[in-house]
Structure 1
Amino acid sequence: MSLLPSSVDVAVIGAGAAGLGAAHALKTSGLSFIVLEARDRVGGRAHTIQAAPDVIFDVGCGWLHSADRNSFVKIAAELNFEINKELPPWRDRAVGNAFPQGERADFLRSLDEFFQRLDEAAKTGREAQASTCLEPGNRWNPMIDAVSTYINGAELDRVSILDFDAYEDTNLNWRVRRGYGALMAAYGATLPLALNCVVRLIDHSGKRLRIETSEGTLVADKVIITVPTNLIADEAIRFQPALPDKVDAAANLPLGLADKVVLALDKPEALPKEGNLRGATMRTEMGTYHLRPFGQPCVEGFFGGRFAKQLEDEGDGAIAAASIDEIVSFLGNDFRRKLKPLKESRWASDPFARGSYSHALPGHSGKRAVLAAPIDGRLFFAGEATSPNFFTTAHGARDSGERAANEVLGTTRAE
């Protein structure tokens, strides 16, 4: 970790995937730079922990989505991180009798038809709530809404059709055996960092930028801001002069909520490895469960949207309690004594995230480009919310950081 210098050419704010991507792109530029990070670690919303001696848990992002186009796949190979290419535990990998095959097939057909309607609606170019693409009266609508809470962190009434449709997914999803967060930590290990450094103000009124932090004041020629949208919208970081267009863009690209829990599983052979468990619950307030990831003796639960926020608001342990109750309702009361809470995420309560990943509110799909646009050749913006097609993902964030760094270098060469 570096001490805070008094002056640099470029300050990068945030050591999540976007900040790390920006910093790596600056490494050979000849410019002096430092990454300012409020946490005591790098990775942002990517964080791997040892939840138990035999359980590795990605508290944040865990999947290399669109793996054939995901820049972290190459980075993982360069850093000697093993990639697991087994099929993900969703779609047709359901287990147990909670969701019988016939009903599951009907649900998946309805889900696919919803996405087809969404695609057709997006082709018109008209903005609307994604919920308008639900088939009126379809019995599976509440569960389709639950799927949105996993994908977007929000229910369909909060999501723009055009934004939802703009996301590109090649349907190839891999994992990092040692953890996505662990990969991110290794990716940031060689960079100049100032940890536990909370940025409060970026004053761009003078010839050089003045950045006020919890560790002192730093002067820079240019700054790359990579923090989550909720921090900009809430003005946790202020700009002087104010940047109302950026605050408005961030407010209309809020972070939804997707929380995870990991439960230790006694006698793991009682459940199959790498399966998916959920029931035909006919409600949006539901979890989905990954059984024995990597064969580990645990179950991962996933909750999204308003239900996840409700559980967070109920306090520590509420997510685990809800997951155990639901799993027991599927598998029988004998499983209550086989499951033990290990760790749960609380991203809405995290002061440096305030949510999980961004979605555009209906009518505001164009705000990603507004948020991404540089200001005055000195202020540059990155983060998953600025990615036009890979928002919500770590690789979308990383690539946006590289894009912002290249914008910095382009203005530097022009000066």
Structure 2
Amino acid sequence: MEGFEQRTKGGLASKPHVAVIGAGLSGLRCADILLKYGFKVTVIEARNRVGGRLHQQTLPNGHLVDIGPNWIHGTTDNPMLDLAKQTNTEVGSWDTGSYIFDHAGNPFNVDDGEGHATLMWDIVQDAFKHSNKSSKDIHHDESLHDFFLQKVVEKIPDTEEDYEKKRKVIMQMSELWGAFVGSPVFSQSLKFFWLEECIEGENLFCGGTYKKVLDTVAKPVLKGAEIKFQTKVERISYRRDPEEKVKIQVEGGQTLEFDDVVVTTPLGWLKRNLDAFEPALPARMTKAIEAIGYGCLEKVYISFPRAFWLAPEGEVKRVQGFVQWLSPNYAPESNPEQWNQEVVELASLSPENSHPTLLFYTYGEQSQYLTSQVAGLSSKEKDDFLMNFFKPYYSRLPHYSESDTDCVPTGCMATDWLHDELAGFGSYSNFQVGLENGDDDIRTMREGLPNQGLWMAGEHTAPFVGLGTATGAYWSGESVGRRIAESYGRTKRRSLGLGNL
């Protein structure tokens, strides 16, 4: 409060003016909180829209899909779930077995597949427990992959029939973890694996997309704040003493002045733009930004005339929910590295939101390969390349026939966050091998430099159970908005009914 008193004596306007850089979920939530507390708010957004990575596009078949978050992670006191219910947005999961294909493209029977999946997730849970309990004693170079190598021997002893084959399958399945964090299991820190834990409860797929949720969060900000779209920030000059303003230089040379600024840009943008801050950020803050990993999770939607993988009338064999192809050796030209493939089918959602589309998730080297291969291609060339790349996998689904027109894709759409400057050339923070002080790094970014008028928000500054999630981004903006209000003594003067703030 001392800083507040000094700034008041210096002639601070009765309505403090705060800049929020970025109109993603964290920026919108922060702006909303600040408006409720009576601040003047200017949102500076480089895109021509709100939402950031929380965005939707329309597939060739006319259905709207998310190109950013698809999931609500956890159901216990999760504001995303509350907003989904409030907006009548469909969410749900698939109560089905695991559909897994081995390295030769042959399906496991459902019981075996379910058994392998259960064992794989048991080891993941063991890793969470071990990381939570013994983080201080785990070497920073140990990976989740290392933990799997150790545990698979314990879980599948030499006395078990076909133990070598079973161990190999579980190790192949362990690589599926990459689709959760956007980076390979080999680079996942075991020491800080506990930071990947989410809110308790189910992981729910947002079948109705995040659009109505985003519209609801954005509405009060679009109404009450000044929003400068298509405005790129080039320099942020934060305060050296309490009487100074925070100055933001935008592309074109204009300089804007504020009492405080909240930076909600993605972690990847921060990593590449440390020189945008003046003076240079403190060494501890710089180290934190550089230390936390940044992933490259991408999505490819491929649509068909009909969901051929669902059972025709009178037949039992069908696929619902997730399907995985482990270390495929049958596409040597297109996939010589034998990258796992993982898909969720969208045809068994509710009738209102279902459509005959397969959603493939990619990460790591595969994401880099696919996005680079289609860069610069025409729309048709891009579609042809992607449909051919994934054909060895979807052609193994039940009821596929080369001669059946229902099995010929009608179109596709692929994300490309890896080439998106404003997304920081990637997507989602994560915790890599070699990380020594991951929890303190997050706390450092979360704290920001409030005495200098510089605050930070985003999924990389979220509470530990929300890191890398839409919920975490929302919470981080909420927290910073509240903290700024507290720094001006405004929370004591007003009761706004802000729920779980």
Q: Same fold (TM over 0.5)?
A: yes
Pair 402,319 (structure 1): closer, same or farther in 2 beyond 3 Å:
farther
Q: Which runs of 5+ in 1 are unaligned?
A: 1-6
Instruction: State the distance in 2 between where 1:179 and 1:313 align.
Output: 27
Q: Which moved more, 1:221-230 or 1:168-177?
A: 168-177
CA shift for structure 1 position 375: 0.8
Q: Is the 8 A contact 1:223 1:380 kept in 2?
A: yes
CA shift for structure 1 position 94: 3.0
Q: What does 1:236-255 align with in structure 2 at a 5 Å threshold?
A: 238-243=276-281, 244-255=283-294
CA shift for structure 1 position 248: 2.5
Q: Is the 8 A contact 2:325 2:341 kept in 1?
A: no
Q: Is the 8 A contact 2:76 2:199 kept in 1?
A: no
Instruction: State the distance in 2 between where 1:77 and 1:113 align.
Output: 31
Question: Aligned residue for 1:199?
Answer: 233
Aligned AA (1:214):
E
Q: Is the 8 A contact 1:55 1:297 kept in 2?
A: no
1:12 to 20, 33, 38: 20
Q: Is the 8 A contact 1:230 1:251 kept in 2?
A: no
Q: Is the 8 A contact 1:261 1:320 kept in 2?
A: no
Aligned AA (2:110):
Q
Pair 53,312 (structure 1): closer, same or farther in 2 beyond 3 Å:
closer
1:144 to 173, 196, 208: 173
Question: Aligned residue for 2:209?
Answer: 179
Question: Aligned residue for 1:397?
Answer: 473
Residue by residue over 1:366-396, the C-alpha shift from the partner in whole angstroms, topping out at 9 and shown as x without a partner, is: 2111211121421111111112221111011
Pair 175,156 (structure 1): closer, same or farther in 2 beyond 3 Å:
closer
CA shift for structure 1 position 171: 3.7
CA shift for structure 1 position 100: 2.5
Residue 349 (1) aligns with residue 395 (2): no
Q: Is the 8 A contact 1:201 1:240 kept in 2?
A: yes
Instruction: State the distance in 1 between where 2:391 and 2:190 align.
Output: 34
Instruction: State the distance in 1 between where 2:285 and 2:115 align.
Output: 43
Aligned AA (1:190):
P
Residue by residue over 1:277-298, the C-alpha shift from the partner in whole angstroms, topping out at 9 and shown as x without a partner, is: 2234468712211223422122
Question: Aligned residue for 2:57?
Answer: 49
Pair 321,226 (structure 1): closer, same or farther in 2 beyond 3 Å:
farther
Question: Aligned residue for 1:83?
Answer: 90
Instruction: State the distance in 2 between where 1:158 and 1:280 align.
Output: 19
State percent identity of aligned pairs: 19
Residue 65 (1) aligns with residue 51 (2): no
CA shift for structure 1 position 53: 4.5
Aligned AA (2:213):
L
Pair 140,269 (structure 1): closer, same or farther in 2 beyond 3 Å:
closer
Q: What does 1:109-124 align with in structure 2 at a 5 Å threshold?
A: 109-122=118-131, 123-124=133-134
Aligned AA (2:183):
A
Aligned AA (1:218):
L
Instruction: State the distance in 1 between where 2:390 and 2:213 align.
Output: 28
Pair 351,303 (structure 1): closer, same or farther in 2 beyond 3 Å:
same
Q: What does 1:20-39 align with in structure 2 at a 5 Å threshold?
A: 20-39=28-47
Q: Which moved more, 1:108-117 or 1:352-361?
A: 108-117
Instruction: State the distance in 2 between where 1:143 and 1:304 align.
Output: 15
Residue 301 (1) aligns with residue 355 (2): no
Pair 284,230 (structure 1): closer, same or farther in 2 beyond 3 Å:
farther
Residue 327 (1) aligns with residue 394 (2): yes
Q: What does 1:191-270 align with in structure 2 at a 5 Å threshold?
A: 191=221, 192=225, 193-205=227-239, 207-214=244-251, 216-235=254-273, 238-243=276-281, 244-270=283-309
SS of the aligned residue for 1:24 comes to helix
Query: Based on CA coordinates, which of the two structures has the bigger radius of gyration?
Result: 2
Q: Is the 8 A contact 1:368 1:386 kept in 2?
A: yes
Aligned AA (1:392):
G
Aligned AA (2:72):
L
Aligned AA (1:124):
S
Pair 401,197 (structure 1): closer, same or farther in 2 beyond 3 Å:
same
Question: Aligned residue for 1:3?
Answer: none
Q: Is the 8 A contact 1:8 1:219 kept in 2?
A: no
CA shift for structure 1 position 150: 0.7
CA shift for structure 1 position 338: 1.9
Residue by residue over 1:42-69, the C-alpha shift from the partner in whole angstroms, topping out at 9 and shown as x without a partner, is: 1111111221354221111111111333
2:343 to 283, 286, 289: 289
Question: Aligned residue for 1:132?
Answer: 146
Instruction: State the distance in 1 between where 2:277 and 2:216 align.
Output: 32
SS of the aligned residue for 1:202 comes to strand
Instruction: State the distance in 1 between where 2:123 and 2:264 align.
Output: 33
Residue by residue over 1:127-165, the C-alpha shift from the partner in whole angstroms, topping out at 9 and shown as x without a partner, is: 432222112573135533432211111112322224322
Q: Normalising by structure 2, report the TM-score.
A: 0.74
Question: Aligned residue for 2:483?
Answer: 407
Residue by residue over 1:61-81, the C-alpha shift from the partner in whole angstroms, topping out at 9 and shown as x without a partner, is: 111111333212223344x33
Pair 358,404 (structure 1): closer, same or farther in 2 beyond 3 Å:
same
Instruction: State the distance in 2 between where 1:99 and 1:181 align.
Output: 37
Question: Aligned residue for 1:383?
Answer: 458
Equivalenced residues, count: 406
Q: Normalising by structure 1, report the TM-score.
A: 0.88
2:325 to 245, 263, 279: 279
